[in-house]
Structure 1
Amino acid sequence: MNRPPTEITRRRALRAIGGVGTAAAALSGCLSPISRSDRCPGSDEGTLDLDDATATGVSNEFSTPLDGLPHATRVTVADALETEPGDATARGYYRPDPRTEYVVAGPGAGYYRLRVTERDRVRTTGYEYAVEIDIDDSALPDRGAVRSVAEIPAHDRDSLRGAIGNPGLLHAPHYTSFSVVFAYEDADARDRSVFIPGRDTRYLEWDGVPLRLTFEERRTVTIASATVNTERVATSPDGFREHVGERRGVVLDSLPPEQRDVVNRAIDGTYAECEPYSEPFGDLRDRLSTRDGGAAPLVRYDGDWYFCQLS
């Protein structure tokens, strides 16, 4: 996440007037930054990077467009967004799994927090098939043996879409195969499936792309109901940045001069120290660290937001 080349950073401004914090550099722990290429003999190196966090950058980092979600998740989230409570439920082997906390959806820039809860888990038999994409025409049987995806039962189509996530991958040169599990707890749905071992369907045409399906194994899988709840948290990228910052960011205010010097240097590059750290850097690290041993992803300093990398 690089800054625009025309932006005058704080550190460049400081350099222009000869720098700040010269006296602090003499403190124990060596407050002056060192190059990444320098080594810390006999001790570890700690670093701090602060990069400009634009509203667009925060949106890209912490949210996913609705169209970018996998098929099973996208359908259920879209259904939830159309309801007044903001809830929708789907059931099956391929069920909603957003793998993102926030989704952005139109019209307009609406940002929604997603919560998923599962219930009513049952075990049933699943049939796993390997799917080869874009089979050479010479390997295909007579055209009568190649069925269109539109001709197979809807629940089989949903399993295929759930497995691949994004059907656009059928046309991606690097994407040559995937695996799909057909699993249905309802006996009637299972009986109507064309993908039960021993049945004839082995070749499909999907969006003009020929596929070959090969049965791999029969195994026990889990089917469950998943309910997606959508809560709108912002109506613009700026508002979303403030929301994420309030939840996961750290505001660096009332800093003593020595810590301001560290932050100003980190804004325009990498600030680094060898252990044992100076008191200003050590205290700043404690302030930026989270309970799980990581670091706050966002930092607000002098009214601006920054992406934080602490190591």
Structure 2
Amino acid sequence: MERKALAALCLLALVALAGCSATGSLSMETADNAEIAEAASRPAVVDSPAPDDRRVVRKAVEDGSGTATATDPPVQQGLPLAYEGSYYEIDWNVTGTEPGTAFAVGVDLNGTAPANETVGFEELSERDRRLLGDLLTAMSERESRLRPGPEVAIPEEYTIAETNESVLLSGEYSAVRHNGTVYPFVLEERREVTLTRYRYTVSRAADNTTAYAQQLRGEHLFRLSGLSETERSVVNDAIDGVYYAEDTDDEAFRSIMDQFSAESAIEADGSDGTWLVRYDGQVYVAELSYGGFDQNDRPVTPNQRTRSVITSVEA
């Protein structure tokens, strides 16, 4: 999730500045319903240039199911998907395979090309236009770059039918004209691949943020209590900040970690996790990192939410 990734980046930056590496860490932030729901969700990959991910998600939510063809699932399984104010669980199964083409197209933001090697955007195949449309629109609104050569590279996979219809892959052109601007492109890493067909299905997990947050409280909220003075010091340092355990001899941190391990995490793996905690009357989203402790000491709690999901898509 974005919040967790940001916390991890901040942790890495702080550790680097300190000139050492922490064995474990704990951070806790007060959380209202919206923040609880955000902590238990992750953004779907729907930003340009990923129109297929957006299409798969929207079709699955709006129609109850959707399909995609790729070497890997375009929409990964995970936590719930927020879409137009509601939350959905999304799952997929494999329905077959077929041959396809994988490649990367590099786009030059300030280049030129011969007129006879330039094709109009409207002349591209539908699949080509889906691939380049959002990107070229965004690039048209940006200032020109001074550096020569391609500045944006887009990996993509086409079915054989899409390959046969593609103007980009035909080899006849080296540039696209979009809204009056010419964008040279180069094709790289082209190869034949086996594509998998995925069928996505969705079900509603919660009607709104409040309902979802209440559901999360019921499933994951636990009380952190009965702490010693040194344990309270760990937690107090973690609130609106970060507590660092410098080595595995930190018994106060280990004791806190043991309490977390007995509870249901929103999400946890072999190195860190996210929990929902009540402490001194306040509700917190807690990010616990324990990767430096022995494997048997790591609180990898099976997530009670076994449903497959994702979050945050643009309407």
Whether these two folds match at TM > 0.5 is: yes
Q: Give 1:255's aligned residue.
A: 226
What TM-score, normalized to structure 1? 0.65
Asked if the contact 1:131/1:211 (under 8 Å) is kept, the reply is: no
Q: Which amino acid aligns with 1:220?
A: E
- Report the alpha carbon displacement of residue 253 of structure 1 after superposing the two structures with TM: 5.0
Percent of matched pairs sharing the same residue: 19
Q: Give 2:59's aligned residue.
A: 79
The 2-side partners of 1:223 and 1:67 are apart by 21
Matched, 1:184 2:159: yes
1:7-156 aligned at under 5 Å gives the runs 46-61=24-39, 62-64=41-43, 68=47, 70-83=50-63, 86-91=64-69, 96-98=74-76, 101-106=79-84, 109-124=85-100, 126=101, 128-136=103-111, 139-142=112-115, 145-156=117-128
- Report the alpha carbon displacement of residue 77 of structure 1 after superposing the two structures with TM: 1.5
Range moving further from structure 2, 109-118 or 65-74: 65-74
The structure 2 residue matched to 1:215, chosen from 166, 187, 192, is: 187
Q: Give 1:300's aligned residue.
A: 277
The 1-side partners of 2:54 and 2:99 are apart by 25
3-state DSSP of counterpart to 1:82: helix
The 1-side partners of 2:218 and 2:181 are apart by 47
3-state DSSP of counterpart to 1:49: strand
CA 146–281 in structure 1, closer or farther in 2 if over 3 Å, else same: closer
Q: Report the count of equivalent residues.
A: 259
Asked if the contact 2:107/2:183 (under 8 Å) is kept, the reply is: yes
3-state DSSP of counterpart to 2:270: coil
Matched, 1:310 2:288: yes
* Max Rg structure: 1
CA 133–95 in structure 1, closer or farther in 2 if over 3 Å, else same: farther
> Which stretches in structure 1 are left out of the alignment for 5+ residues?
2-35
- Report the alpha carbon displacement of residue 232 of structure 1 after superposing the two structures with TM: 1.8
Q: Which amino acid aligns with 2:151?
A: T
The 2-side partners of 1:171 and 1:220 are apart by 34
> Which stretches in structure 2 are left out of the alignment for 5+ residues?
4-14, 290-315
- Report the alpha carbon displacement of residue 147 of structure 1 after superposing the two structures with TM: 2.0
CA 270–206 in structure 1, closer or farther in 2 if over 3 Å, else same: same
Matched, 1:287 2:259: yes
CA 268–129 in structure 1, closer or farther in 2 if over 3 Å, else same: closer
What TM-score, normalized to structure 2? 0.64
- The superposition leaves residues 149-168 of structure 1 with CA deviations (integer Å, 9 ceiling, x where unpaired) of 2222213323446xx78963
3-state DSSP of counterpart to 1:64: coil
Q: Give 1:194's aligned residue.
A: 167
- Report the RMSD for the aligned CA atoms in angstroms: 4.0
Which consecutive segments of 4 or more residues in structure 1 shift more than 6 A? Answer: none
CA 52–170 in structure 1, closer or farther in 2 if over 3 Å, else same: farther
Asked if the contact 2:277/2:286 (under 8 Å) is kept, the reply is: no
CA 176–112 in structure 1, closer or farther in 2 if over 3 Å, else same: same
The 2-side partners of 1:166 and 1:81 are apart by 27
Range moving further from structure 2, 252-261 or 234-243: 252-261
Asked if the contact 2:45/2:75 (under 8 Å) is kept, the reply is: no
Q: Which amino acid aligns with 1:179?
A: I
Asked if the contact 1:132/1:178 (under 8 Å) is kept, the reply is: yes
